[in-house]
Every structure is written in C-alpha cells, then in structure tokens.
Amino acid sequence: GENVEQHPSTLSVQEGDSAVIKCTYSDSASNYFPWYKQELGKRPQLIIDIRSNVGEKKDQRIAVTLNKTAKHFSLHITETQPEDSAVYFCAASQAAGNKLTFGGGTRVLVKP
C-alpha cells in the first residue's frame, strides 16, 4: 500500500517568513496530492491540491510543487501570518475521491 512521509514534524517561523513542508510517497500509482490544514479539534480543511499532470500550483500565498519522478511534493507558504499556525497534513491517493493516505503532519507555529 501507499506510504507517505512528511517532514518536518514541527516548524517554527517568524511572521513574514516562508514555511516549507516536504512529503514523499511510495506508490507510483498515486496521482492526487492534497494538503490539509487542521486546527485543534476541528476537521481537516483542504487548502490546495495538485494532480500528477501538473508540476506546480499556486494560490495566493500558498504553492505546491510535485516531482513525480522523485515521488515527492512540497507545500510552500509565503509571508506567514499568525493565523497560519496549525497542523498541516499532506496526503496521496490514486485519484480525487479515492481513499487518502496521510503524512504524519507538521505542527506550524508562526511567531508574531
């Protein structure tokens, strides 16, 4: 089955700096890679996703890159704000709507 590794497990950044989270996956059949933000006790919220036919996708301060050959993908958050503090999860699946395999999560703290 699929295995998703996520690093780092914790990340502390100064407000305004960038944050980068990296994930690797094992199953070459995976084609859909979403990123979720989860606040304590709440549901995961989809913040951005990328499909295997695209190498990079950007949405305002958030960008995701995908290297299918190397089986890794990354989340980039620029100009971080205190409200970006949360746990972020990467995930992989064969297609949108299929079961998701999640990475271990990254606890991001943005210090004002």
Footprint on this chain of another protein (rule: CB under 8 A):
1, 41-46, 89, 95-97, 99-105
Contact of 67 with 82, CB cutoff 8 Å: no
Min dist CB 60 to another protein, Å, is 20
- Which residues contact residue 76 at a Cβ distance below 8 angstroms, ignoring those fewer than 6 apart? 18, 19, 20, 62, 63, 64, 65
Nearest residue (CB) to another protein, 2 versus 78: 2
Nearest residue (CB) to another protein, 9 versus 18: 9
Min dist CB 76 to another protein, Å, is 21
Min dist CB 94 to another protein, Å, is 11
Nearest residue (CB) to another protein, 62 versus 78: 62
Token output for 93: 């699946």
Instruction: Provide the CA 22 distance to its chain's centre, in angstroms.
Output: 7
